[in-house]
Each structure stands twice: as structure tokens, then as C-alpha cells.
Amino acid sequence: MFVPAIPLHRRVVMSAGLCLALLVVASLAIGVEEISLSSTARSVPLADLLSISRLPRTLAAVLCGAGLAVAGQILQTLTRNRFVEPSTAGTAQSAALGILIVTLFLPAAGLGMKALVASICALAGTALFLSTAHRLPPEQPHLVPLFGMVYGGVVGAAVTYVAWQNDLLQYLDIWTNGEFSGVLRGRYELLFVAVVIVAVAMLIAERLTIMALGEAQATSLGIDYRRMTQIGLVLVSVMSALSVVVVGLIPFVGLVVPNLVSRLSGDNLRGTLPLTALGGAILVLASDIAGRIIRFPYEIPVGTVMGVIGPAVFLWFVLQERRDA
Amino acid sequence: MIEIKSVSLVREGQRVLDSIDLLLPRGGLTALVGPNGAGKSTLLSLAARLLPLQDGSVTIDGLPVESTPGKLLAKKIAILRQDSGPPPRVSVRDMVGFGRFPHSGGRMTAQDRTMVEEALARFELEALANRSLDRLSGGQRQRVMVAMTYCQDTDYILLDEPLNNLDMYHARQLMLELRRLVDETGRTIVIVLHDINHASASADRIIAMKNGMIAADGTPETVMRTEVLEAIYGFRVPVIETNGMRLALQYASCAP
Amino acid sequence: MRDRIVIALLLGLALTTMAAFMGVNLRGNIALALELRGIRLAALVTVAIAIALSTVTFQTITGNRILTPSIMGLDALYQFGQAALVFGLGGLGYVSLSPLLKFGAETAALMLLAMIILRPALKSQMDLTRMLLAGVIIGALFRSMTSLIARLIDPQEFAVAQRAMVANFSSPMIDLLLIAVLVTVIAGGFLLSRRHLLDIAALGRDTAIGLGVTWNRTVMIHLLVVSLLVAVSTALVGPVTFLGLLVTALAERLTVSRRHDTLFAVAILLGVIVLVGGQTLLQHGLGQASTLSVVVDFIGGLVFILLLFARRIR
């Protein structure tokens, strides 16, 4: 199979970029408040509508999607398992636990404080997942995602219990089911950290690819495996925590996108990470737009849409994966 | 020179290595042989800082492995271990190129690229260069990994059972290639082998391990003897000499 | 002998928790309180029996001790059927249906879907960890599809339907109690009468076929019975993912015999102790009664993880 890898890859990236551009335009245009240049009798001026609501919403979806897809890719590298991502590794649920703790003990805290505590909790939860997952027998790769999903469920149950005891159940849905309809100017800017996270991931892409070969090989090539693992954990935790704090949990982005990209363009992250980020942005933005259209004028949260798309694609991956792989 | 001083290792209450002392001077092809569980792979991993030292010390050209920066060591010593992980979807050329990482830090120069092409040619991988690793057979993948280790361009190369999965032809090719590397470029290669006849044919020195200790150490002429092999493996292995080479006939005792 | 002692002890414990459930903190109109509590106790015991029987049977026909109907997504499937029905009929149409008819339709839908989805998976002899993973994903998929449907329905109508749909441990679906008890008794009697067959099925597909069991038919029939029992428990109190695993894992460790009469008895008693005892504790000790399913899922999830690590996967 002598496939000239680069040109195909470039074509894919270009079409993905075009696709994202179209979706951005669509996202700016679609909503309850109609946009048409001719109408003069509008309740909200066009410029305000765009700058206060539509643009922030679109940007938030793009940032979350790109960041979460890259976070999923990093987590898969650290676990050496394709079927792992922040919502199936306890990361997102631990972040929700962090928000819950802030809400309980520092009710007046702002978004920044919430993001900080959520990140710390997500880091602790993911570190526990990672160190435990490494003890599972490597010849049974399905055990890792299985453990991760149940572990996420256990942390989620703990969060639900605490929320229940403290009459915070109505907030729980906000954190555990991602939604962009509440995104307004001034309430989403934290998400720009995703740009930094994606950039750092691209800087260390070569190292991450080598780490996917295993600790021994990576160490032999002069990579400080432990420190890189710590950096990776921080990137994953901060990204997941930010998205949970600002818009709520969006599951399976980090699983679906990296797996599709790997099938299309392979695992050499230096080449593929930009595509992963683009793909994540496309998936989340498209899901958000779909959520706006399906039941117009009501909205279906992006977390619900991804909750259906994600497991369906995941199931397909699991069932058709080659037996020998 | 690799200097191993009174290195011991206990794992789960079991003594895996028992106070090993070993000097591996620069140059030469050294084969590490011995029964399963003798501690060969563990010793190799300790020497290449893949496992933390519990007891004793290892230095490479005077640099202690536990305190020297990984990046520096990666330019001195390369190790290839058997790994059970899933093969990544990375092309053979990219994979071999990862061997340049300690030198390039990810930004490959023209010189790095030349080195990669040379490694591909040396290990007969040009035809596979654009293929993805997950589409190769186990033996092909093994050769890619050896080429990557070679590409790291270090003075010391440690190989843990690189002949695994290789057919007779490729096993011979690989041993010839390693021999050439030692003779032409003066590298130091330590290789764990199961087939003692490969060791006898290609190595300058054979070190036999048993129960975490060194059971025999010397040239093929001194180690490839019936009484020495019997002490190592626990059964009588006739040894014949042909074409100036000593060969063990371990199959002789299989016949009914 | 040891098993008899275990059963006797568990029986004593189960009766104690039931007495505590009925008796603790009785105030006011005692007769009315006893009647209300009696009805709820009956619901909880029915759920315990249905979950214990269905899980033990499911584990036997799938040949391992870690798969359970809930882990394979059966109760999520039931709720999905429920939501689909609301979607099809509209909230008001759904509420105006008789509870019996609804239960019948939802159960039939579950049995059908279980046949379509699970049987090929069981027949394909997929390796166990892959099947487990697929099951957990299917469960997640149906839970999300249920909430998607909930969002597709007009919010007002949905609120109406939700009151008729959502059940939990403190407010079980009393309308259905009679039919639930009836179904559980019939299914339980059926399984008990087939216990010797199940003992043989537990030896594995090949051995069972060698001993003259018509395997595919046996699997199909028991899968249907399992679906029926899952429908009963989910209809009464909603999904409890890990209760079945919790009681069967404990039952297996407490007993020596692998015979199904023993396993059934011990699992049922453990189920009663966990559900009734847990509910009593939460209600009177910790003040918040509605969270029992959350607590059970938390502890059961931990048990599941322990089982994964104990490599008891066969």
C-alpha cells in the first residue's frame, strides 16, 4: 500500500477547514431571533445580537470542541488505549465534584475560582484513574475503558448524592449536560485557554507520539516519561474542567474525533493534531446547530446530542475493530 | 564502558538479580544468554535506566544512570525491549525517524533525514517505508524497531531478544548487520539471545545468566562447552565444532 | 450445611430489616401508616426478587459472573421504550392509558428489543470484555436517547408524562404492584422449576449441549424471562444499575454450592436486606430517602471495579 500520505492528509485538512467555516456562518445565522438584512423592525440590533450572543456561542463551541478532542487524544496517548476520553475516565465527573465543592463552601466564588478548584479535582480524579488503569492486564485492552466508564459513573453517583443532600440537584443538570444557549459575552472568555492547551499539545506532539510507544521506548529515546505524563494530565484536566465550568459536560468528543482522525491520517500527532482540533470544533458546533434546529424554537442541549452520537459511534468502533489489532 | 557494580533487585519477594558485577568495555558484540527468568532482560533494563536501581550502581562512560539527564543518556545508549502494546498507525519512515528524537528534539535536519534513509536501507525496509506500522507482520515490525534503535546513533545499543518473530533469513541478516556495525563503526552491542548458536556464531563474548547470577562469562570457545551449557540449562548439550565455529546440538537430546 | 446456616442467618436478617421498615418511628394514624408501609415493602421485596432472579439467570446463560442485565443496558432499554411511547402518544395520551396497558406495551417492547439487540451479541461468542464494554455503551446510548426524546416532547406535555413515568424507591408505582407481584411469582416459579436445567447450563454451552440441552432455545426463553423481570423492577422503582451485581457477587462468596436453588435464595435475601435495610436506614437515619439508588450504584460500581481487578472475569 503505497499511499502518498501527505497530499491526502492535506486535502482532508482543507476540507475540514472549509466545513468549519460554513458551520460558523450557519451558527451565526441560526437562532430564535431571525437575522435578515432587510428587516428593520427588530427587537435587538443585529450587531448586538451577534456580538453579545451568537458570536460568543459559536466561539465557545469551537473552542470546547477543539480542546476536548485534543484532550481526548492526549488521554489516549497516556493510557495507550484508543477508547478513553475525559468523560469516560472520571475527569469530567471529578471536575463536576470540584464545582459542587466550591458551590457548597464558597457560594460567592466566581467562574475563575470554580475553574481552578474543578481543575484540581479533575487532575486528582484523572491521576487516580491513570495509576489504576496501568494495573489492568494490557492483553485485555477493553478493560481500561470499561473501568473508566464505571469509575466515571461512581464519581458521578457521589456527586449526585452530595448534590441531593444539599438541595443542589437543579444545578447538577447544568454541569453534567453541556449547553451553549446560556453562553453570552463576558461568561465564556475562560475558554480561550483552550487555544493555549491546543498549542502546547502541538508543541509536544512528537513527544506524545513517542510516549504512545510505551514508557520503555519513550525513556530510551530520552523522554522524561513521568514529567510528560504530568504535563499531559494537567492539559487534559484543565481543558475538561473549563468546559464543565463554562458550558457543562460534553461527552465523547475526545473519543469520536481522535479515532476518526487516526483512521484517516494515522497516529503521528505532529501531522494529525491540527486535524483533531478542527474535527472537534466541527463536531461540537454541528451538534450545537443540530440541537438548535431539531426542535425549533426549543433547544436541545449539545450534551444530549453528543450523548446520542457519541455512544453510537463508540459502539461502532468497538464492534467492528479488527480482531487481531 | 558500562560498569555494573553489585546490582541486586528484589521483585515481589523474589530475588531477580543477585549482586551482579559486570564490566562491558567499549566495542564488541556481547550476547546475554540463559534460561527464562534468569534476569537477562531485567539487567538490561536496569543498565538503560528503564527500571529504578534498588541496590548497586550502573555507570555508562562514567555517567551514573540514575542521576544523568535522560536526554543525555539517550545519546549514549539505546535499548530495544519487547513490547506488547498495540502498534500505532505511524509510517515506517516516521517510526524510524523517532530514533532521531534525542538529537533533533522533533525538528529533523537534513542530516537526520539522511540517517533515517540510511537506516531504512541498512535493514532492508525501503519497500515498506510508507506503510503504516499496524499493517506490518510481527517480524517486519521487529526490524523497524531495530532500525529505529540504530537510528538513535548511540555508542551503546542494548537489544532484548530482537530475533523474536524473525524468520531464518531475517535473523541471519540482522546478526550479520549487527556484526558489521560493531566491526565498522566500533559500536558496543549487548544482545539478549535465546539461540545460543547465534551467540556462538556472531558474538565476541557470551555472558550466561542463571537465577539472577552470572553463570558463565567468556569467549564462545570457553562458554560453548558441553559441561558449561549443562550447568546453565540443566541438561546435556553436545557441542560440535565445524568451520571454526562451535555449535550446540540441543536437539540431540530430543530424539527418543 | 454451611449454605443452610447462611440462608437461615440471612433470612433472620431480612425479616429483621422488614420489621424495622414497618415499625421504626411509627406515629399518628398507625393503621394507615402500616398499610402504606406495607404496600411499599411489598414493592421493594418484589423488586429485590425480580432483580436477584433475573441477574442470577442472566449470568448463568451468559456463562460469567460479571455481566448483569442492567450492565447490558436492559433497564435503560425499558426506559427508552417508555419515553418512546410518550413520544408516540403525546404526554396526555400516555397518561390517559391504563397503567396495565402501558406496562404490557412497554414490557413487550423490551422483550422484542432484547431479542433483537442482545441475542446476536450473545450468540456471536464475542470475547467477554468486549461484550461488557459494548453493553455499558448500549446502556449509555439508551439513557441519552431517553433524555433526547424527553427534550423532543413539548415541555408541558413532558412534565405531565414524567409524573406518570418516573418512579423511585420512596414512591414506587403502586398502580402496578399487583401485576408486578403476579408476574414475579409466575416468572419465579418458572425459573425455580427449571433450576436443574440452569445448573447444567451453568457448566457452559458445550457441556450443556453434550448433556442434551437445546442451547439456543434455552438461552432465548430465559432471556425473555429475564427481560420480563427487568421490566417489573424498572417499572416499579426505576433503574438500579449495580444492585444485581452487588447481590450476585456477594451471594457467590457466601455460598459453597453453585446450585440454583441456593443461589436464588441467597441472592433474593441479600436483595431484600440491601433494599429494605438501605431504605430504612436512609429514611430514618440519614433523612434523605430518595437517594438509595444513587448509594447502591456507588457501592455496586465499586464492587464492579473490584471484580475487574480481581480478574474474576471468565
Cα–Cα distance measured from residue A312 to residue C141, given in angstroms and rounded to the nearest whole number:
7
Contacts of C144 in chain A (CB under 8 A): 304, 307-308, 310-311
State the pLDDT at residue C72: 82
Residues on chain A touching B74 (C-beta within 8 angstroms):
220-223
Query: What's the pLDDT at B193?
Result: 94
Whether B230 shows a pLDDT value over 80: the answer reads yes
Q: Supply the DSSP string of B207-225, one letter for each residue.
A: EEEETTEEEEEE-HHHHSS
How many CB atoms are closer than 10 A to CB C306?
Answer: 11
Q: Are A274 and A13 in contact (CB under 8 A)?
A: yes
Q: Mean of the per-residue pLDDT values for chain A?
A: 89
**What is the C-alpha separation between C50 and C42, in angstroms, rounded?**
12
Q: Is a pLDDT exceeding 70 seen at residue A224?
A: yes
Which chains does C contact via 3+ CB–CB distances below 8 A? A
For residues B171 and B151, what is the distance between their CA atoms, to the nearest angstrom? 19
Query: Taking CB atoms and an 8 Å limit, are B90 and A224 in contact across chains?
Result: no
pLDDT, residue C313, reads 45
Touching A: B residues 12-71, CB under 8 Å: 45, 48-50, 70-71
pLDDT band at B158 (very low <50, low <70, confident <90, very high): very high
Q: Does A138 touch chain B (CB under 8 A)?
A: yes
Instruction: Collect all residues with Cβ–Cβ distance below 8 Å to C31 and sequence separation of at least 6.
Output: none
Q: How far apart are CA A26 and CA C251, in angstroms?
A: 57
Closest-CA distance, A143 to chain C, in angstroms, reads: 6
Q: Which residues on chain A are in Cβ contact (under 8 Å) with C311?
A: 137
Each residue's pLDDT tens digit, C78-89? 888 888 888 888
Q: How many CB pairs under 8 A join A and C?
A: 101
**Substitution target from A203, A208, A221 for chain B, most B beta carbons within 10 A:** A221
Handedness of CA A249, A252, A257, A259 (dihedral sign): positive
Would the pLDDT of A35 be above 70?
Answer: no
B247 interfaces chain A, CB cutoff of 8 Å:
no
Nearest to B85 among A207, A213, A262 (CB): A213
What count of other Cβ atoms lies within 10 Å of the Cβ of residue B168? 8
With residue C92 as reference, give the H or E element that holds it.
helix C91-96
pLDDT at residue A82, as a whole number: 92
Q: Is chain B touching chain C, with at least 3 CB–CB pairs below 8 Å?
A: no
For B27, which DSSP code? S
Size of interface A-B (CB pairs under 8 A): 95
CA distance A227 to chain B (A): 12
Cell reading at C274: 440491601
Predicted confidence at residue A128, as pLDDT, reads: 95
Cell of A148: 473508566
CA atoms within 13 A on the CB side of C247: 32
Would you say residue A109 has pLDDT above 70?
yes
How near does any CA of chain B get to the CA of A204, in Å? 9
Candidates A2, A214, A221; nearest CB to B102: A221
Contact B33, B194 (CB under 8 A): yes
Are the Cβ atoms of C144 and A307 closer than 8 angstroms?
Answer: yes
| Chain centre to alpha carbon of residue A140 | 26
Q: Please give the Cα distance from C264 to C189 (Å, whole number).
A: 11
Instruction: Determine whether the interchain pair B86/A325 forms a contact, defined as Cβ–Cβ distance below 8 Å.
Output: yes
What is the secondary structure of A147-210 as a DSSP string? HHHHHHHHHHHHHHHHHHHTT-HHHHHHHHS--STT--TTSSGGGGHHHHHHHHHHHTHHHHHH
Omega within 30 of 0 (cis) for the link into C172: no
Closest CA to A65 of A309, A295, A268: A309
How many CB atoms sit inside 10 A of residue B236's CB? 12
Check C141 against A311: CB less than 8 A apart: yes
A268 touches chain B (CB under 8 A): yes
Assess contact for A303 and A248: CB atoms under 8 A. Answer: yes
Give the pLDDT confidence score for residue B74 in this predicted structure.
92
Q: Terminal CA-to-CA distance of chain C, rounded, Å? A: 28
Q: Rounded CA gap, B120 and B126, in Å?
A: 5
Number of domains in chain C: 1
Rounded Cα distance between C176 and C157, Å, is: 22
Q: Which residues of A touch C (CB under 8 A)?
A: 83, 132, 135-137, 140, 142-143, 145-147, 149-151, 153-154, 157-158, 160-161, 164-165, 177, 294-295, 298, 300-301, 304-305, 307-308, 310-312, 314-315, 318-319
User: With bands split at pLDDT 50, 70 and 90, how would you rate the model's confidence at A2?
Assistant: very low
Residue C21 belongs to a domain: no
Give domain B1-76+154-223's CATH number out of 3.40.50.300, 3.30.429.10, 3.10.310.30, 3.30.465.10: 3.40.50.300
To the nearest whole Å, the CA of B181 is away from the closest chain A CA by 20
Q: Do C137 and A311 touch (CB under 8 A)?
A: yes
CB B160 within 8 A of CB B81: yes
Q: What's the pLDDT score for residue A3?
A: 47
Q: For A206, which of B49, B70, B106 is closest by C-beta distance?
A: B106
In tens, the pLDDT along B63-115 reads 999 899 988 999 999 999 877 677 888 899 999 999 999 998 888 899 999 99
Residues in chain B: 256
Q: Is residue C52 part of a domain?
A: yes
Q: How far is CA A1 from CA A12, B132, B135, B136, B138, in A?
A: 19, 9, 9, 11, 17
Contacts of C132 in chain A (CB under 8 A): 142, 146
Q: State the smallest CA–CA distance between residue C1 and chain A in angstroms.
A: 37
Quote the CA–CA distance of B118 and C246 in Å, as a whole number: 60
CB-nearest to A220 from B50, B84, B90 is: B50
Closest residue in B to A267 (Cα) is B89
pLDDT recorded at residue A306? 96
Residue C224 within a domain:
yes
- Domain containing C146 — which CATH number? 1.10.3470.10
Is pLDDT larger for residue A212 or for residue C206?
A212
pLDDT beyond 60 at C73: yes
What is the rounded (10 degree) CA torsion for C97, C99, C104, C108? Answer: 80
- Tens-place pLDDT, residues C229-243: 999 998 888 888 788
Model confidence at A295, pLDDT cuts 50, 70, 90, reads confident
Q: Return the SS3 of B248.
A: strand
Q: Which amino acid is at A181?
A: S
C3 domain residue, yes or no: no
> Measured between CA atoms, how close is B112 to chain A, in angstroms?
15
Q: Please give the C-alpha separations between residue A180 and each of A59, A67, A70, A143, A187, in angstroms, as whole numbers.
A: 10, 15, 20, 33, 11
Which residues of chain A lie closer than 8 angstroms to B152, CB-CB?
220-221
Q: Residue A271 burial (CB < 10 Å; 0-12/13-18/19+)?
A: buried
Decide if B183 touches A, using CB distance below 8 A: no
φ and ψ of A287, to 5 deg: -65, -40
Chain B contact for A276, CB < 8 A? no
- In A, which residues are within 8 Å of C308 by CB distance? 136, 143, 146-147, 150
In angstroms, rounded to a whole number, what is the distance separating the alpha carbons of residues B150 and B133? Answer: 18
Across the interface, whether the CB atoms of C151 and A301 are under 8 A apart is answered yes
Give the three cell numbers for residue A114: 470554580
Give DSSP secondary structure letters for C57-91: HHHHHHT-SS--TTTTTHHHHHHHHHHHHHHHH-H
* C-alpha radius of gyration, chain C, whole number: 19
Q: What is the least distance, in Å, from the CA of A307 to any CA of chain B?
A: 28
What is the domain range of residue C206? 36-309
Q: Is residue C16 part of a domain?
A: no
Question: What ipTM, to 2 d.p.?
Answer: 0.87
Q: H-helix or E-strand containing A270?
A: helix A269-294
Give the pLDDT band of residue B26 (cuts 50, 70, 90): very high
User: Which pLDDT band, with edges at 50, 70 and 90, does C30 fall under?
Assistant: confident
- The closest of B106, B96, B189 to B151, measured between CA atoms, is B96
Three cell numbers, residue A188? 465564556
Q: Where are the domains of chain B?
A: 1-76+154-223
Domains identified in chain A and CATH numbers: 48-320 (1.10.3470.10)
pTM, two decimals, is 0.86
pLDDT at C205: 81
Residue of C nearest to A84 (CA): C133
Query: Which residues in chain A are closer than 8 Å to B88, comparing Cβ atoms?
Result: 209, 212-213, 266-268
Q: What is the pLDDT of chain C when averaged over all its residues?
A: 84
Instruction: Give the model confidence (pLDDT) of B33-62 as tens digits.
Output: 999 889 999 999 999 988 889 999 999 999
Show Cβ contacts of residue B99 under 8 Å, excluding neighbours closer than 6 positions.
A221, B78, B116, B119, B147, B148, B149, B150, B151, B152, B153
Nearest CA in chain C to A129: C305
Cα(C278)–Cα(C285) distance, integer angstroms: 10
Q: Which set of grid coordinates corresponds to residue B61?
A: 562512560
**In this complex, do C301 and A150 lie within 8 Å of one another by their Cβ atoms?**
yes
Chain A's closest residue to B145, CA to CA, is A217
C-alpha distances out from residue B29 to B203, C60, C215, Å: 5, 58, 61
How close A134 comes to chain B (CA, Å)?
12
DSSP A14-83: HHHHHHHHHHHHHHHH-SSS---SS----SS-HHHIIIIIIHHHHHHHHHHHHHHHHHHHHHHHHHT-TT
Question: Is B91 in the A-facing interface, judged by CB distances under 8 Å?
Answer: yes
